[in-house]
Structure 1
């Protein structure tokens, strides 16, 4: 987990470490630190329940990632403002690849937490109780732009989930700041840069990416940071060696090994993990997709359930949908021989139309694969991005 904190217009030398990530100014460098942020003592403002709204449901939460948006410092009269800011935040996230193409892999849920007073703690709290339900406050660990929340309180308001979920807490503040890579991703909901902040912070939280700017800690454990140059990566087949020399869509030129002032190499000259408002470079894009597929299968349960099926019936698979022209590939075989399904989208096969002899049973398989060229690790594709279901039909 990282901390990125701001330069205002000059770079601030920040020394206190912390494993959250604070965003710097829109066009300036970001500065990292490192030591777990401690929330001031939380006032007991627990409500028996807070209204919950599924504002976007792409599918069963058991096979989707749920992004839970919660607000802190919004009074009952300000809930409309919170809803508008929350809506802008998740929509900004879905404007950047790969989240744009994979947006149907996510459900969006909003929790309307009512605060007794407007705003959050924006000054140094010195350990005093924070008087909002989620305990959000700036100056976490003495860093002005580091925006922290009480993680246990936030999780309590978010509630249980039937599948993977990430918590995103919006503070009722127009100050510039946020945090990512911890149990709760935070941002100032009223900041003009809130949309760009969440695009960067979610890179830490979902993709487990590191900061690429010069003042980031020299921690090369992240998939987009390395101590090795391009030749060493090729020789050892590590890090983003598969992407070397490819043209990246982030405006950073060819994928290579670009040294930062902290001694580490990054894949491109620039990206959203270095400067707000950019795009993810290809190694980072691949890392995000891989983390999504570690939590979500490429298809929902088929109809009927796999196994022996009585009679001759229609078999249907339910691949997850991508936004855009490309969709997941569906392939069918009967006793190992490829067949063309009747469905134009290839999602179903009517076994009643198969030329089977009376009493004869066959094995039908359907395989769903994400063939995106944004992933070059074929072993990962085979293990996580491909699923096969099998039925025995006929008789």
Structure 2
């Protein structure tokens, strides 16, 4: 295991925190950690630990830290909330935590597919005050009394940065919908972890933005590490024990993408053998080298995991079902960043009709010219047509939603 590489716990049962962030399994089934592809040497000196500790309070009590909604783009019940928490930041260092937290989530939203799908995420910050500055950094270091218990050398791996998942969940509290927890350590050391109940990174590392881009790939996309020294576990959407021909023959893994030109600079999607014997989709990606991009199979995996948690349309107005009079029927597709938006198709008793709305989001039923007493079913179908997904069965099941009303003339 090369030095300078933080790792991740594989297949933690707390990988995704649903609805009640305070409820976690009593015992997590975790395998031995594997290093993640944070390539390069540690950066920077140790964080300054000279800040005085505040008066002692029960810092681990639920609700002890203020929660700030810093970006709300839609109904939390139909968004994923990213909850950013800090550990080892004293009362006088909260401004530093805010700055580093903002830098982290903005870096995440600067990489595809998160850039395009950024409006599927609300962002909340929890300002946890620590009685001491900094976290445990050295091997065998004496634990400090930080609220989230963050420390390096987790499971004997130098750059594996772990947190107390139960304590982090208590501080995070609950949202109406799903949420992911991201814990920043007050450290300039180089490290992080992903794929567990808490994604971690060193808030003060010069590579913090690139680290979160890699680690969140584990957590959100369930992606594996693509570098040569990674463990030989192929149970990830971007890793395979089969070559390209075998994938095509068996319709396995990323077979739909074989031969496609990947936008990550890794060339054509195929099966590139790593030194550990596993195949990866492209020559390089962010899951192999920091600062890269997600290859196409990895982008698809991330988008699919997002859509398993978020519907493509918010509540319709009026509510679906029988409606009196001849109202304007409206749906609210989740907005994408960029020119491409979700597609909306309207039908009346199964026959296509054209919406006069510029974005197709509403239909004026007064213009249907229904004869008195005639009852029709009006349906709006919202669909994500992105070419970053090639699994059409998945698109039909998760990325398409139909809303229907009954209108009487």
Asked whether the two chains share a fold, i.e. TM above 0.5, the reply is yes
Q: Is the 8 A contact 1:316 1:347 kept in 2?
A: yes
* Structure 1: gaps (5+ residues): 10-16, 29-42
1:18 positional shift: 2.9
Q: Is the 8 A contact 2:4 2:40 kept in 1?
A: no
CA distance in 1, matches of 2:36, 2:240: 22
Q: Is the 8 A contact 2:257 2:297 kept in 1?
A: yes
1:7 positional shift: 3.8
1:59 maps onto 2:66 in alignment:
no
- Tell me which residue corresponds to 1:309: 323
1:112 maps onto 2:146 in alignment:
no
CA distance in 2, matches of 1:246, 1:296: 28
Q: How does 1:49-88 map to 2 (within 5 A)?
A: 49-88=64-103
String of CA shifts for 1:351-377, please: whole Å, max 9, x gaps: 011111112111100000000000000
- Tell me which residue corresponds to 1:374: 388
Provide runs of 4+ in structure 1 moved above 6 Å: none
CA distance in 2, matches of 1:305, 1:62: 17
String of CA shifts for 1:307-346, please: whole Å, max 9, x gaps: 0001110000000000000000000001111000121110
Q: Is the 8 A contact 1:174 1:190 kept in 2?
A: yes
* Structure 2: gaps (5+ residues): 6-30, 43-56
CA distance in 1, matches of 2:64, 2:404: 44
- Tell me which residue corresponds to 1:362: 376
Q: How does 1:1-395 map to 2 (within 5 A)?
A: 6-7=2-3, 18-19=32-33, 22-26=36-40, 45-47=59-61, 48-125=63-140, 128-395=142-409
RMSD across aligned positions (CA): 1.7
CA distance in 1, matches of 2:3, 2:325: 69
Matched position secondary structure for 2:300: helix
1:124 positional shift: 2.4
Deviates more, 1:372-381 or 1:47-56: 47-56
Q: Is the 8 A contact 1:123 1:139 kept in 2?
A: yes
1:45 positional shift: 3.6
How many correspondences in the alignment?
369
TM-score where L is the length of structure 1: 0.91
Matched position secondary structure for 1:359: coil
CA distance 1:8–1:319, shift in 2 (3 Å) = closer
Q: Is the 8 A contact 2:59 2:147 kept in 1?
A: yes
TM-score where L is the length of structure 2: 0.87
- Tell me which residue corresponds to 1:34: none
String of CA shifts for 1:228-275, please: whole Å, max 9, x gaps: 110100000010000000000111110000011111100000000000
String of CA shifts for 1:126-158, please: whole Å, max 9, x gaps: 6x5431000001111121101000000000000
